A and B are shown apart, each in its own frame.
Chain A
Amino acid sequence: MNCDDIQNALYVYLDGEFAELEARDFERHVDACARCTKLMVREGRFLEAVRDAAPQDPAPAGLRDRLALAIDNAPSPLPATLPVAPRPRGWAFALAAAALVLVAVGLSVGTTASAENTVIDESVATHQKSLPMEVRGSHRNVSDFLQQNVPFAVDLPTFQDPTARLVGARLTRVHGREAVLLNYEVDGERMSVIQLAAETSVDDAEPAVQSKRGFDVWTFKRKGVLNSFVGRDARSVRRLVRAAYRR
Chain B
Amino acid sequence: MIFQPKREKPSEEQSLREGFQREALPHMEALYNSALYMTRSPALAEDLVQETFLKAFRFWHRYEQNTNCKAWLFRILTNTFINKNRRKKRPTMSMDATERELSSALVADKSSFYDTPEKDYISKLFPEHVQKAIEALPENFRIPVVLADLQDFSYKEIADIMDCPVGTVMSRLFRGRKRLQEELFEYAVELGVIPASVARDDDGAVSLDAYRRSKKAAAG
- The interface bits of chain B over 163-200 (1 if a CB of A lies within 8 angstroms of the residue's CB, else 0) are 10000001001100100110000000000000000000
- B72 in contact (CB, < 8 A): no
**Docked CA distance A67–B29 (Å):** 12
* Residues of the A chain whose Cβ atoms lie less than 8 Å from the Cβ of B181: 46
- B98 in contact (CB, < 8 A): no
- The interface bits of chain A over 60-75 (1 if a CB of B lies within 8 angstroms of the residue's CB, else 0) are 1001101110111011
Structural contact, A50 and B122, CB atoms closer than 8 A: yes
- B102 in contact (CB, < 8 A): no
Chain A proximity of B15: nearest CB distance (Å): 12
- A144 in contact (CB, < 8 A): yes
Known: A8-B106, A67-B25. A54 touches B16 (CB 8 A): no
Chain A proximity of B75: nearest CB distance (Å): 11
Q: Which positions 1-23 of chain A face chain B at CB distance < 8 Å? A: 3-4, 7-8, 11-12, 15, 17
Q: Which positions 146-160 of chain B face chain A at CB distance < 8 Å? A: 148-150, 154-155
Structural contact, B130 and A53, CB atoms closer than 8 A: yes
The 8 Å CB contact of B57, one of A53, A74, A143, A201, is: A74
* Residues of the A chain whose Cβ atoms lie less than 8 Å from the Cβ of B128: 55
- B123 in contact (CB, < 8 A): yes
* Residues of the B chain whose Cβ atoms lie less than 8 Å from the Cβ of A143: 87
Most chain B beta-carbon neighbours within 10 Å: one of A54, A63, A147 = A54
**Docked CA distance A59–B189 (Å):** 32
Q: Which positions 139-160 of chain A face chain B at CB distance < 8 Å? A: 140, 143-144, 147, 151, 153
Structural contact, B53 and A67, CB atoms closer than 8 A: yes
Number of B residues, CB within 8 Å of A: 57
Residues of A within 8 A of B (CB): 3-4, 7-8, 11-12, 15, 17, 35, 38-39, 42, 45-47, 49-51, 53-60, 63-64, 66-68, 70-72, 74-81, 140, 143-144, 147, 151, 153, 201, 223-224
* Residues of the B chain whose Cβ atoms lie less than 8 Å from the Cβ of A72: 17
Structural contact, B50 and A56, CB atoms closer than 8 A: no
- B216 in contact (CB, < 8 A): no
- The interface bits of chain B over 31-59 (1 if a CB of A lies within 8 angstroms of the residue's CB, else 0) are 01100100000100010011001110111
Chain A proximity of B17: nearest CB distance (Å): 7
Structural contact, A54 and B134, CB atoms closer than 8 A: yes
- The interface bits of chain B over 74-108 (1 if a CB of A lies within 8 angstroms of the residue's CB, else 0) are 00000100111001000000000000000000100
- B114 in contact (CB, < 8 A): yes
Structural contact, B13 and A76, CB atoms closer than 8 A: yes
Structural contact, A68 and B116, CB atoms closer than 8 A: no
* Residues of the A chain whose Cβ atoms lie less than 8 Å from the Cβ of B113: 7, 39
* Residues of the B chain whose Cβ atoms lie less than 8 Å from the Cβ of A51: 149-150
Known: A50-B130, A54-B149, A54-B150. A71 touches B57 (CB 8 A): yes
**Docked CA distance A35–B113 (Å):** 10
The 8 Å CB contact of B58, one of A50, A78, A147, is: A78
* 6 CB < 8 A contacts A-B: A35-B114, A55-B127, A55-B130, A70-B54, A72-B17, A143-B87
* Residues of the A chain whose Cβ atoms lie less than 8 Å from the Cβ of B60: 77
Structural contact, B59 and A78, CB atoms closer than 8 A: yes
Chain A proximity of B219: nearest CB distance (Å): 13
Q: Which positions 105-149 of chain B face chain A at CB distance < 8 Å? A: 106, 110, 113-114, 116, 120, 122-123, 125-131, 134, 148-149
* Residues of the A chain whose Cβ atoms lie less than 8 Å from the Cβ of B127: 53-55
* Residues of the A chain whose Cβ atoms lie less than 8 Å from the Cβ of B116: 38-39, 42
Known: A68-B21, A201-B163. A59 touches B126 (CB 8 A): no
* Residues of the B chain whose Cβ atoms lie less than 8 Å from the Cβ of A68: 21, 25
* Residues of the A chain whose Cβ atoms lie less than 8 Å from the Cβ of B180: 50
**Docked CA distance A59–B50 (Å):** 12
Structural contact, A46 and B130, CB atoms closer than 8 A: no
